[in-house]
Amino acid sequence: MSATVDVTSALQARFPQAAPRASLDHEAVNVPMGDVIAALQYLRDEFAFDVLTDLTAVDWSEAMAPRFTMVYHLFSSTRHVYVRIAADCASDTAPSAPTAIGLWAGANWLEREVFDMFGITFDGHPDQRRILMWDGYPHHPLRKDFPLAGIEAPLPDAEIVAETGMAANPVPLAGGPFVAHSGQINMAEAEPRAKDESWNERRPKPE
């Protein structure tokens, strides 16, 4: 099926700034943030991409500009093709994107997750709250500058903190991150293990 050619060129015809995006699997298109909702609606209505499979973001790290990219994965349940739409956030310090709830109601929680994990705000989102971390948590864990072990943060409940003296502490990673070496023949060696054993609970991580 020639759907792959169709989508990019059709999008480019309609949105002149759209550009093909390098992709190893499915067709992908870069779209300016201002056009993204219109482009998604165009794909949904004209090309039967009726399922929002996923909506997420990429943090390219503090040094990069643009730093944040929104990514939308669409699927057509009638034509059985996927397409990926990416849009860079204009601001690196206060990134934002328009909400896609008007097109797919299911975008609601996905956008809350992106807000929670990346700190990207969604214009027009009716219920912009954290979804995974607790209210008042000051960090965005999926940003590149957030350490895997976490950063000390106050617990939400002052009463409990007074009782227990607890805070959300960085965890001892004991040499993490833990990774599974897939494809190894010996299953005993394929189980998750620390990449780096040079530090542990007692000895701090060498910087």
**Residues binding other proteins (CB under 8 A):** 132-134, 141, 146-151, 155-157, 160, 163-164, 166, 168-174, 176, 178, 192
Q: Residue 20 or 172: which CB sits closer to other proteins?
A: 172
Phi, psi of 189 (to 5 degrees): -90, -5
Cβ 168 to other proteins shortest distance, Å: 5
Q: Pick between residue 106 and residue 172 the one whose CB is nearest to other proteins.
A: 172
CA distances from 204 to 59, 83, 138, 145 (A): 27, 45, 24, 19
Residue nearer to other proteins on the CB measure, 65 or 148: 148
Inter-CA distances, 166 with 62, 130, 140, 155, 161, Å: 31, 21, 21, 7, 5
Question: Minimum CB separation from other proteins for residue 167, in Å?
Answer: 9
**CB of 201 vs other proteins, minimal distance in Å:** 10
| Complex with other proteins: residue 48 or 133, whichever CB lies closer | 133
The span from the CA of 66 to the CA of 48, in Å, is 31
Least Å distance, CB 157 to other proteins, is 4
Phi-psi region at 160: left, alpha or beta (left = phi > 0; alpha = psi -120 to 50):
alpha
